[in-house]
Amino acid sequence: MAEDSPKRRKANFNEAETEVLIEQVLKHEQLLFAAGPGRASAGQKRKVWELIRHKVNPVAACPRDVEDLKKRWRDLKRRDRSKLCRLSQGCGPPAPPALGLLLAPEELPPARRQRR
C-alpha cells in the first residue's frame, strides 16, 4: 500500500510578488470590483485575474494560481483595515506611512485624509 505524502503548503508571498499583485489589482480595480449596471462579467474578471497571475508568476517563489492571488488580496485588505481600525481608535503602534495604500479616501480617518 503506497503512502500518500502530506500536502505541503506553498511558500509565503515575497515582497516582489506582493508589490506586483497590489500594482496590478489597483490598475484593474474598477473592472474587478465595480458594482452597479456597468460592472464586468464573471468571464471578464476571470481574464483579468489570469492576466494578473501571468504578471505575478515571473517574480513568484512558486507558481501561484488565481485563487492564491485572490486570497492574498483579501488578506492584504483585511490586514490594512484592521491597522486602520487600531489607528482610528488611538491604540496600538503608530501607523506605517503606507497605511491607506489599499483604502479608499473615505475609509481613512480625517487626520490621514489630509496627508494623502
Question: What is the DSSP track for 61-112?
Answer: SS---HHHHHHHHHHHHHHHHHHHHHHHTT-SSPPPTTTTTTS-GGGS-HHH
Task: Return the number of other C-beta atoms located less than 10 Å from residue 70's C-beta.
Answer: 16
What's 9's DSSP letter? P
Residue 98 domain-assigned (yes or no): no
Q: How many domains, the chain?
A: 1
Residue 95 domain-assigned (yes or no): no
Please report where in the chains the cell 483579501 appears, as a residue.
74
Could you give the C-alpha distances from 93 to 76, 80, 85, 99, in angstroms and in order?
A: 18, 14, 12, 12
Please report where in the chains the cell 495604500 appears, as a residue.
101
CA pair distance 28, 49, nearest whole angstrom: 9
CA pair distance 115, 103, nearest whole angstrom: 14
Residue 103 domain-assigned (yes or no): no
Residue 47 domain-assigned (yes or no): yes
Residue 111 domain-assigned (yes or no): no
pTM of the model: 0.68
The CA-to-CA distance between both ends of the chain, in Å, stands at 62
Residue 97 domain-assigned (yes or no): no
pLDDT of the chain, 116 residues: tens digit per residue: 455 678 888 999 999 999 999 999 999 999 999 888 888 999 999 999 999 999 999 999 999 999 999 999 999 999 888 876 776 776 555 545 554 555 566 655 555 555 44
Residue 108 domain-assigned (yes or no): no
Residue 106 domain-assigned (yes or no): no
Q: Which domain holds residue 60?
A: 15-87
**What is the reported pLDDT for 102?**
59
Q: Which of 78, 77, 95 is nearest to 86 (CA)?
A: 95
